Structure 1
Amino acid sequence: MFARNIVSSKSVNASAFCGWVCLVIMKPFIYIDIMMSIMTLSDYTAAKAGPTMKKLIHPIAGTIAMLTIASFWLSTVISEVSGSREAIIAVKTAIPWGFLLLIPALAATGGTGFSLSKGRRPKLITTKIRRMAMTGANGLLVLVPSALFLSQKAASGEFNTAFYVVQGIELIAGAANITLLGLNMRDGFKMSGRFRRPAVKHSS
């Protein structure tokens, strides 16, 4: 009887462990699947909007994307400087949920940007498109995998060398995206004529 209980207990523990392993492996793919679905929907919706709405969506979505990445970056730095283990865990496990805001914002920014640039390819627009492509690639290939990895490590309390190496890469990639989005915003203001200095009239 006692032996049966031991075997049964081991079986339950083994099943629970296998379930946990499957969840850890599948969790990043679940996040990516959700984000890709949202990104596709946001991109499609932005592309179908009218010209006036696109001009409104584009700067708002770009600002939201830049501020979201900046908040990730600053919260990471502040939590590390504070030295609080609880703060680091809270920040690292919360960032992946922020992608539910960031990914649609990036998709809407890119979708409206490409749509508004149809038939127009001056140097400034071409440069903005290249920066947007770099921002998207950087986000999907570096920031998202890094954030998911760090979230899993933080939740498990594993603050080892791998954690800090990946976090360093994440901070560099985040700073690059903030810079690229900031430059695009500056060029957007140039193209729209905002903050343009009025011409000085010379009296004859």
Structure 2
Amino acid sequence: MQKFLRRIHPVTGAMAILCIACFMTASVFAELYGSPQTLAVIRHAILWGLLVLIPCLILTGLSGYQATGTAPRGLALTKFKRMRIIGINGVCILVPCAFFLALRASELKLDRLFYGVQLIELLAGTTNLALLCINFRDGLRMARS
């Protein structure tokens, strides 16, 4: 089981990083170069992408927790604390923003409120992306030692 956890953890972590990076890139490019209809399609696709991202984050967190035991220390504890922030940020900010923005984009209501929420989503997404990348880096350090 431990060998499986060591393999699944970096794979699901990398997939989560890739998902978030794709969501953010697609959103920005749709805003800058796409039509309102393109933006609506991208926003809808992001909702479907959550069906990949959320299980990846859950598996990453659970496999990390199982691999380190009930009392993580050092880098493992630091990674665990970051995962809490990532989870809270995702559940409280990113998922609600994704649903709100998909709804508004499907109605083509691209007003100040839409762009304000999108800015919040991009900031929160950037935060999660950075924290996940730092966790990935620290995981590589832990694997080497």
- Category of TM-score, reference length = shorter chain: over 0.9
* Alignment partner, residue 117 of structure 2: 166
- Map of 1:182-197 to 2, 5 A cutoff? 182-193=133-144
Task: Answer yes or no: is 1:134 the counterpart of 2:85.
Answer: yes
1:15-55 Cα deviation digits (max 9, x unpaired):
xxxxxxxxxxxxxxxxxxxxxxxxxxxxxxxxxxx101000
Larger radius of gyration: 1
* Alignment partner, residue 103 of structure 1: 54
Amino acid of the residue matched to residue 170 of structure 1?
Answer: E
Whose RCO is larger (CA < 8 A, sep 6+)? Answer: 2
Q: CA deviation at 1:123?
A: 1.9
* Alignment partner, residue 11 of structure 2: 60
Identity, % of aligned positions: 39
Q: TM-score, normalised by structure 1?
A: 0.69
| In 2: Cα distance, 1:93 partner to 1:159 partner | 15
Q: Is the 8 A contact 2:37 2:108 kept in 1?
A: no
| In 2: Cα distance, 1:119 partner to 1:136 partner | 19
Q: CA deviation at 1:119?
A: 5.5
| In 1: Cα distance, 2:70 partner to 2:23 partner | 36
Q: 1:180 aligns with which of 118, 131, 134?
A: 131
Gaps of 5+ in 1: 1-49, 195-204
Amino acid of the residue matched to residue 187 of structure 1?
Answer: D
Amino acid of the residue matched to residue 129 of structure 1?
Answer: F
* Alignment partner, residue 72 of structure 1: 23
Q: CA deviation at 1:92?
A: 1.0
Q: Is the 8 A contact 2:21 2:129 kept in 1?
A: yes
Task: Answer yes or no: is 1:116 the counterpart of 2:67.
Answer: yes
Task: Answer yes or no: is 1:154 the counterpart of 2:105.
Answer: yes
Q: CA deviation at 1:60?
A: 0.2
Q: 1:93 aligns with which of 44, 50, 75?
A: 44
Q: Which runs of 4+ in 1 moved over 3 A?
A: none
Aligned residues: 145
The CA RMSD over aligned residues, in Å, is 1.2
Q: CA deviation at 1:57?
A: 0.5
1:67-94 Cα deviation digits (max 9, x unpaired):
0011000000111110422221111111
